[in-house]
Amino acid sequence: MTKQLDLLDIQGNILRAYGRFGYPVARYVFLNVRNTAKGREFVGEITKKVTTSVEWGDGPGKIKQPDRTVNIAFTYQGLKDLGVPISSLVGFSPEFASGMKGRKDILGDDGPSSPEHWDPIWRGNRETREKDVHIFISLNALAGQGLDWLTVAEKNRDDAYAWLLDEINKTEGGVVLLDGHLGDDDANLNYQDVRVVLDNNGVPTPKEHFGYTDGISDPVFEGVPYDERRVKGRGKQMPGGTWAPLATGEFLLGHVDEAKEYPPAPEPILLSRNGTYMIYRKLHENVATFDRYLEEQGSKFPGGKALLAAKFVGRWPDTGVPLVKAPDAASNAKFGAQLLSLNAALNAAQKKGDKESVKSNEQAIDDILSDFTYDDDMSGAKCPFSSHIRRINPRASLEMMNEEGDKPGSFKVSKDAFDTPGALANRRRLLRRGLPYGEVKDRTRDDGNHGIVIMMVNADINRQFEFVQQQWVNYGNDFKAGNDKEIILGNHSMDDNFPSKAVIEADPDSDQPPYILSKIPRLVVTRGGDYFFIPSMTALRMIAQGVIDPT
Amino acid sequence: MSSNISGNAYALTILSPIKDGFTQDEIAYADIVRDRLQGWNAEHNSPMALVPQTYLCRYFVLDDVYLESLPGGSAIDTLVDWLPFVPDTLRRWAWPKEDHLKSRYLVFSCNFHGGPKADLDGYLRGMWNAIGDRIKEIWGYCHGFDQVDNADKFIDYMKKCQLTATLFFVGSNDDPLEEQLKALYLKQEFAKFAIDNQGLDAATVKTNFQAFVDRVRPSELDGPTWKAGAYRVDELVELKKNKG
């Protein structure tokens, strides 16, 4: 029998990227616990409404899709102030205890990304007891079906928020809503709103503010019933070009991971099992700098601006098609046309309620966007080593070698050194949740309220998120790229003497030289965040009742 | 060829016993040695950066090495365990034996360019001449070092403390240090040249390349290059300025 997860015990935001399930709008709220008893009571009330991972739809074991989702997570101090015993607290990971601010050197949050420039809520966090962020609550809102989709979504969100405020008020000061999120014109808000980016006609898009399609290749792991068909390109690469779901323990505590071990987790097992860690990061996007840099380099890059924009990320901005499949504009146009007709067929099938046709069209779209490897692009001629998708999820591409006699800059798969193609990548995967925030009102300016709130989920913050951030985003040695950083997210040095650079590789068999991106500016700036623990439903009820006992 | 030599690279391992005593402040000599070594971290550069031909090195104080014999697993031991009338002293006799170091040691592990003749004497002489006072600061508490007051005695002393161990650091070839520093300098400068010249026509690149070669002087080791031991960004900036 294949592995089945206890969906009723796992919070819904772990297994679902709500945005993909029809929730284009969300509000994130952060709270400070002033009174342990009242705090627990509050957690108990919220828990009654928390959205689980149970399947949506008709039929046995399924529920109707909710108008709004509610999820809750805690920082280390939050758990402590809710009375989780010290003998349990010591079982959480040291980086979770220390928090994102304390890990700034590992994460490369320096210069404009350093904590003194973060939003006030994150500046105040972990400085004084009263300003500490203890509880995170996310409210995602379902969109309407018609033209008023956004109004419906916003009403769902406002209803959810009104309910939450009411619950906070009932604690009579035992739980306090924290402000300090910067909104439009630096307004000080007591929530962080996020929403999909709209195009000029107000139609929702899957894009972030630079214009790239986001969140395509989210990992797929064992035991998630609604992801079974999405494993190609999202699970782990296996010998012979097949794919398998990743081990559950890479993303959920209390389950066996890729090393056939249980990830380190606090006692008792009921506190940690089916729970996991979440990294919340608010990232501001310097759109004007991005546009200017792309323009400037695009005028020099032999392939032109559109191809260079694709090289930054590894996917074409207009279609999302990966460069390894469509290395030039002509092949991108071909895939683009295919995607258009597939999407049209998908829409028609959805309207008709033809489930089989929906499935097959979704599968065909998925195959174009996700089902690829770097096996035929080991030298990076199509998808550069420092592009976003190759750095975040290198698949099997790190098993690279250059033997004596090979052309300089030419790499091939190292066949015998590893027992599986994903040996170097399978333990560094991250579930990515979250949505863009704000609107770009003036593309000629960097400032303003626009960026992305990214929430990453993993079983081991240090081994997964921090490793990727430190070694693959802000350093390039694993990719044989020296100290080149990932182009979009890297904490590029703006030092005149040691500016950031990255190489756009050329085919070693051609007479083309590689193109070197020089003086890469900081395109993305950290505005705050912290590390959270997302407990299981069982653990939530135990935290609320104050009955956690590791002895 | 000795196992601590690889091509022109030499792996030197020194273990010097530290005297078992303490100061008036009740600080053990070994702890003073460790404190002083840790103090080197606070200096702008390690004194070892001044020692010619040093690739990489490491100092530490070895407090103890604890060895244990295999536990008794023979038929007799097992029998002894089972029999109720065997006296406790006999049982203890069958327990594993412990072995410890007789003193604490200063360990100096170093890779340097020894050349085709594996010139240890030359390297140690260079070390004494460059940082003799700093050496005395560290080795001064070691047994027998009070007699060392010149380069020859230092060489003799170090050879007595030498262990033939194959401790090679990864990250360096066996070229002379000056060659390696010049190569790193050229690599970095050439990357900048490539950035500045990409997309230009061949004739311009050729002219610029000539100017580049004239500036970086690839064949001159004492021309523009990196300074040994310089690893801080501000130092490299300083070097750039000096090169004009």
- pLDDT tens, position by position, A174-191: 999 999 999 999 999 999
pLDDT over 80 at A1, yes or no: no
- Segment A526-530 shows an average pLDDT of 98
User: Using one digit for the tens of pLDDT, what is the confidence trace for A45-81?
Assistant: 999 999 999 999 988 889 999 999 999 999 999 999 9
Contact A516 B194 (CB under 8 A): yes
Give the residue, B88 or A503, on which the prediction is more confident: A503
Cα(A374)–Cα(A396) distance, integer angstroms = 7
The contacts of residue B168 (CB under 8 Å, 6+ apart) are: B6, B9, B11, B111
Contact A497 B236 (CB under 8 A): yes
Cα(A420)–Cα(B139) distance, integer angstroms = 51
Q: Walk me through the domains of chain B, giving residue ranges and CATH numbers.
A: 5-64+103-163 (3.30.70), 67-99 (no CATH), 177-243 (no CATH)
CA A360 to chain centre: 27
- Closest Cα of chain A to B196: distance in Å? 9
SS3 call for A455: strand
SS3 call for A351: helix
Tokens encoding A281: 């990061």
Question: What per-residue confidence (pLDDT) applies to A172?
Answer: 97
User: Looking at chain A, which residue has its C-alpha nearest residue B236?
Assistant: A497
Question: What per-residue confidence (pLDDT) applies to A227?
Answer: 80
Type of residue numbered A540 = L
SS3 call for A15: helix
Q: Under a CB-based contact definition with an 8 Å cutoff, are residues A443 and A291 in contact?
A: yes
Contact A501 B195 (CB under 8 A): yes
Residue A59 belongs to domain spanning: 12-283+527-545
Question: What per-residue confidence (pLDDT) applies to A179?
Answer: 97
DSSP conformation class of A116: G
Helix (H) or strand (E) holding B133: helix B120-139
Given A302, A498, A516, which is nearest B195 (Cβ)?
A516
Given A495, A497, A515, which is nearest B198 (Cβ)?
A515
Contact A497 B233 (CB under 8 A): yes
Tokens encoding B65: 């090495």
Residues of chain A in Cβ contact (below 8 Å) with chain B: 300, 302, 495, 497-498, 501, 513, 515-516, 518
User: Using one digit for the tens of pLDDT, what is the confidence trace for B173-183?
Assistant: 899 999 999 99
List chain B residues with CB under 8 Å of A300. 198-199
- Segment B232-240 shows an average pLDDT of 69
List chain A residues with CB under 8 Å of B236. 497-498
Q: Under a CB-based contact definition with an 8 Å cutoff, are residues B191 and B44 in contact?
A: no
Helix, strand counts (H, E) of chain B: 8, 7
**A36-49 vs A149-170: helix axis angle to the nearest 10?**
150
The contacts of residue A442 (CB under 8 Å, 6+ apart) are: A448
Beta-bridged to residue A315, according to DSSP, are A322
Question: What per-residue confidence (pLDDT) applies to A495?
Answer: 79
- Closest Cα of chain B to A301: distance in Å? 8
pLDDT over 80 at B235, yes or no: no
- Segment A542-549 shows an average pLDDT of 95
Contact A518 B237 (CB under 8 A): no
Q: Is the ipTM of this complex over 0.95?
A: no
Question: What per-residue confidence (pLDDT) applies to B86?
Answer: 74
Residue A127 lies in a domain: yes
- Closest Cα of chain B to A516: distance in Å? 6
List chain B residues with CB under 8 Å of A513. 198
Residue A417 lies in a domain: no
Type of residue numbered A110 = D
Quote the mean pLDDT of chain A. Answer: 95
**Residue B44's pLDDT band (cuts 50, 70, 90):** confident
List chain B residues with CB under 8 Å of A503. none
Range in B4-13, B86-95, B147-156 with the lowest mean pLDDT: B86-95
Share of chain B above pLDDT 90, in %: 66
**Residue B66's pLDDT band (cuts 50, 70, 90):** confident
SS3 call for A259: coil
* Three-point CA angle A396, A398, A404, nearest 5°: 120
Chains A, B: CB pairs < 8 Å: 19
Residue A165 lies in a domain: yes
Question: What per-residue confidence (pLDDT) applies to B94?
Answer: 67
User: Using one digit for the tens of pLDDT, what is the confidence trace for A231-287?
Assistant: 999 999 999 889 999 999 999 999 999 999 999 999 999 999 999 999 999 999 999
pLDDT over 70 at B18, yes or no: yes
Contact A497 B237 (CB under 8 A): yes
pLDDT over 90 at B90, yes or no: no
- Closest Cα of chain A to B210: distance in Å? 20
- Among A297, A495, A496, A497, most B C-beta atoms within 10 A, so best to mutate, is A497
- Among B170, B188, B195, most A C-beta atoms within 10 A, so best to mutate, is B195
Of A359, A363, A262, A377, give the one whose Cα is nearest residue A314: A377
DSSP conformation class of A72: E
Question: What per-residue confidence (pLDDT) applies to B239?
Answer: 66
How many structural domains does chain A have? 1
Contact B233 A501 (CB under 8 A): no
CA dist A400 to A147, A237, A380, A417, A469, Å?
A: 50, 15, 11, 10, 21
pLDDT over 80 at A494, yes or no: no
Question: What per-residue confidence (pLDDT) applies to A246?
Answer: 97
Cα(A261)–Cα(A249) distance, integer angstroms = 8
Contact A516 B233 (CB under 8 A): no
CA dist A14 to A221, A400, B107, Å?
A: 11, 33, 51
Helix (H) or strand (E) holding B163: strand B162-163
Q: What is the DSSP string of A159-210?
A: HHHHHHHHHHHHTTTSEEE---EE-GGG-EESSEEEEPPB-TTS-B-SB-TT
Cα-Cα-Cα-Cα dihedral of A104, A108, A113, A118, to 10°? -20
What pTM, to 2 d.p., does this model score? 0.91
User: Looking at chain B, which residue has its C-alpha nearest residue A519?
Assistant: B195
Residue A176 lies in a domain: yes
Residue A247 lies in a domain: yes
**Residue B243's pLDDT band (cuts 50, 70, 90):** low
- Closest Cα of chain A to B86: distance in Å? 40
Of B126, B9, B108, B5, give the one whose Cα is nearest residue B61: B108
Cα(A17)–Cα(A435) distance, integer angstroms = 9
pLDDT over 90 at B72, yes or no: no
Tokens encoding A224: 């998630």
By 3-state DSSP, what share of chain B in percent is helix, strand and coil, each rounded to 5?
45, 15, 35
List chain B residues with CB under 8 Å of A516. 191, 194-195, 198
Of A280, A243, A298, give the one whose Cα is nearest residue A504: A298
Tokens encoding A538: 């069982």
Cα(A135)–Cα(A78) distance, integer angstroms = 6
Residue A38 lies in a domain: yes
Given B198, B233, B237, which is nearest A516 (Cβ)?
B198
Tokens encoding A380: 């990076």
Cα(B20)–Cα(B36) distance, integer angstroms = 17
Question: What per-residue confidence (pLDDT) applies to B244?
Answer: 42
- Closest Cα of chain B to A129: distance in Å? 35
Given A300, A495, A498, which is nearest B199 (Cβ)?
A300
Contact A513 B198 (CB under 8 A): yes
